[in-house]
């Protein structure tokens, strides 16, 4: 027995599948399977029972399957597809392909392969924060502090840099401007496709922030600050976390859209600075260890997610409506839908239209290039036939 939420999704799938009269018996369907949910299995069974040839494709094969010109692509959970399949899906639809997609907002949780598993970008980013850097740049040992060069606007302030229990430790008697240290020369620190700066740090009760700077080979300066706690914490900084600091040393840099380019990184600087706000007066102590770099799983998902109007140029999104009645073979204004079968009505239409009363989260989104397909939309007792999506 299907529960109410699953039942309403199956009902809407049936209604929309009946509109797909252009898909003849024996048509080939690429079916994206990645969740193994009850709904996914039910939808697959119904497609097979309808006489369609269902080709199941997992996350690793979906982009190639989309390029094989299937008659229909079915996405049981359209929110989650591999990021690398988005362009293939775009090309398939623009060439006249058909798409049956369930779940909204579509393409809102792109999947990437990380550590041998498929997961959302958010999940992969969290994994990065939980593990050491992919490659260490500095593992501190006693004596390494002598390789770091001090820079300050108050050389009279007492300071000390040392290595204690594997951590680079900085002490300064007071701060009024900056007291930072340049790392030993680095040769292509982000080589191998790395882009994240990863390290662990902490500070004493009077040191709320730590300052970092990457300088590029052209002299451009990119700075970031992280909040410190009195216990160790791992930090992961993406290129976008670094702000450009203009001192006239790099003409043409720092304009709109410009950002730190890890491939051109030349030197690293760490310490205390008041570029972005004052620090408390008095002595400060900070610790940093295990400075390294990691690959950013988000870069694998750096694909443009177009609005449905541009994604499906041959269709015209229409206003979502609440289906007030249903019957075998179509929609009728004379029969009421049981309340347990009604979709919630809180979310706007995700396919680019102005939104409406029906939520697409528990209903079905059907998009594609349907030149001969029309559907009935019913609001109360009125009905009209309009081509569209959603």
Distances (CA, A) of 162 to 122, 159, 202: 37, 10, 15
Dihedral sign (CA 119, 114, 167, 266): negative
8 Å CB contact between 197 and 234:
no
8 Å CB contact between 258 and 188:
no
What's the gap between Cα 307 and its chain centre? 16
pLDDT at 300: 65
Q: Are residues 26 and 78 in the same domain?
A: yes
Q: Are residues 90 and 65 in the same domain?
A: yes
Q: What's the rounded Cα separation, in Å, for the pair 374 and 318?
A: 12
Residue 188 included in any domain: yes
Q: Are residues 175 and 246 in the same domain?
A: yes
Q: Are residues 233 and 357 in the same domain?
A: no
pTM tops 0.75: no
Q: Are residues 287 and 229 in the same domain?
A: yes
Secondary structure class of 135 (helix, strand, coil): strand
Residue 123 included in any domain: no
pLDDT at 125: 84
Q: Which of 245, 272, 295 is a domain's end point?
A: 295
Secondary structure class of 186 (helix, strand, coil): coil
Q: What's the rounded Cα separation, in Å, for the pair 102 and 334?
A: 27
Q: Are residues 265 and 333 in the same domain?
A: no
DSSP 239: G
Q: Looking up tokens 């027995």, which residue turns up?
A: 1
> What is the chain's Cα-based Rg?
28
Burial of 208 per CB tally in 10 Å (0-12, 13-18, 19+)? middle
Residue 336 included in any domain: yes
Question: What secondary structure, in 3-state letters, does 7-35 show?
Answer: HHHHHHHHHHHHCCCCCCCCCEEEEECCC
Mean pLDDT by groups of 10 residues along the chain of 390 residues? 49 47 70 86 88 92 93 90 90 88 83 87 86 95 97 97 97 97 96 95 98 97 97 95 90 92 97 95 97 86 61 48 35 38 37 36 32 29 32
Sheet holding 265-273, edge to edge: 149-152, 178-182, 265-273, 209-216, 221-227, 243-245
8 Å CB contact between 317 and 374:
no
Residue 127 included in any domain: no
Q: Are residues 224 and 359 in the same domain?
A: no
Residue 276 included in any domain: yes
Q: Are residues 89 and 153 in the same domain?
A: no
Q: Are residues 230 and 367 in the same domain?
A: no
Helix count and strand count (H, E) for the chain: 6, 21
Q: Are residues 163 and 147 in the same domain?
A: yes
Question: Where residue 75 sits, what CATH number does that domain have?
Answer: 3.40.50
Residue 382 included in any domain: yes
Q: Are residues 200 and 323 in the same domain?
A: no
Question: Where residue 250 sits, what CATH number does that domain have?
Answer: 2.60.120.430
Burial of 366 per CB tally in 10 Å (0-12, 13-18, 19+)? buried
pLDDT at 325: 32
Burial of 367 per CB tally in 10 Å (0-12, 13-18, 19+)? buried
Burial of 145 per CB tally in 10 Å (0-12, 13-18, 19+)? middle
- Look at the chain and report how many structural domains it folds into: 2
Half-sphere exposure of 133 (CA within 13 A, CB side): 25
Q: Are residues 149 and 268 in the same domain?
A: yes
Q: What's the rounded Cα separation, in Å, for the pair 32 and 55?
A: 9
Secondary structure class of 361 (helix, strand, coil): coil
Structure tokens at 173: 């008697």
Residue 128 included in any domain: no
Closest C-alpha among 188, 197, 225 to residue 296:
197
Domain that includes residue 46, residue range: 4-110+303-386
Closest C-alpha among 182, 170, 183 to residue 139:
183
DSSP 313: T
Distances (CA, A) of 26 to 49, 64, 68, 71: 11, 21, 16, 10
Residue 58 included in any domain: yes
């Amino acid at each position: 027995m299907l529960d109410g939420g699953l039942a309403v999704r199956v009902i809407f799938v049936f209604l929309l599948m009946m509109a797909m009269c252009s898909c003849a018996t024996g048509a080939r369907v690429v079916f994206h399977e990645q969740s193994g949910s009850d709904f996914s299995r039910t939808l697959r069974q119904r497609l097979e029972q309808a006489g369609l040839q269902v080709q199941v494709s997992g996350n690793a094969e979906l982009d190639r399957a989309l390029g094989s010109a299937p008659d229909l692509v079915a996405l049981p959970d359209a929110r989650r597809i591999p990021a690398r399949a988005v362009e293939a899906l775009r090309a398939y639809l623009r060439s006249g392909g058909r798409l049956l997609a369930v779940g909204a907002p579509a393409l809102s949780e792109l999947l990437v392969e990380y550590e041998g598993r498929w997961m959302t970008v958010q999940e992969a980013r969290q994994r990065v924060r939980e593990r050491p850097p992919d490659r260490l740049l500095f593992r501190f040992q006693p004596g390494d502090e002598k390789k770091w060069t001090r820079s300050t606007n108050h050389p009279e302030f007492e300071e000390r840099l040392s290595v204690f229990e594997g951590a680079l430790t900085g002490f300064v008697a007071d701060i009024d401007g900056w007291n930072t240290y340049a790392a030993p020369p680095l040769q292509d620190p982000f080589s191998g496709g790395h882009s994240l700066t990863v390290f662990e740090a902490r500070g004493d009760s009077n040191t709320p922030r730590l300052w970092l700077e990457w300088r590029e080979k052209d002299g451009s300066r990119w700075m970031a600050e992280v909040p410190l706690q009195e216990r160790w914490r791992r930090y992961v900084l993406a290129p976008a976390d670094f702000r450009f600091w203009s001192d006239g040393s790099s003409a043409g840099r720092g304009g709109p859209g410009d950002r730190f380019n890890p491939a051109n990184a030349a030197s690293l600087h760490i310490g205390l600075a008041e570029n972005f706000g004052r620090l408390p007066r008095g002595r400060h102590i900070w610790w940093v260890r295990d400075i390294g770099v990691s690959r950013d799983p988000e870069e694998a998902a750096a694909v443009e997610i177009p609005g449905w109007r541009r994604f499906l140029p041959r269709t015209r999104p229409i206003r979502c409506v609440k289906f007030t009645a249903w019957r075998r073979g179509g929609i009728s204004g004379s029969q009421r839908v049981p309340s347990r079968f009604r979709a919630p009505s809180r979310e706007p239409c995700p396919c680019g239209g102005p939104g409406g009363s029906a939520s697409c989260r528990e209903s079905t989104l059907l998009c594609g290039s349907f030149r001969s397909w029309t559907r009935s939309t019913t609001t109360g007792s009125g009905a009209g036939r309009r081509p569209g999506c959603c």
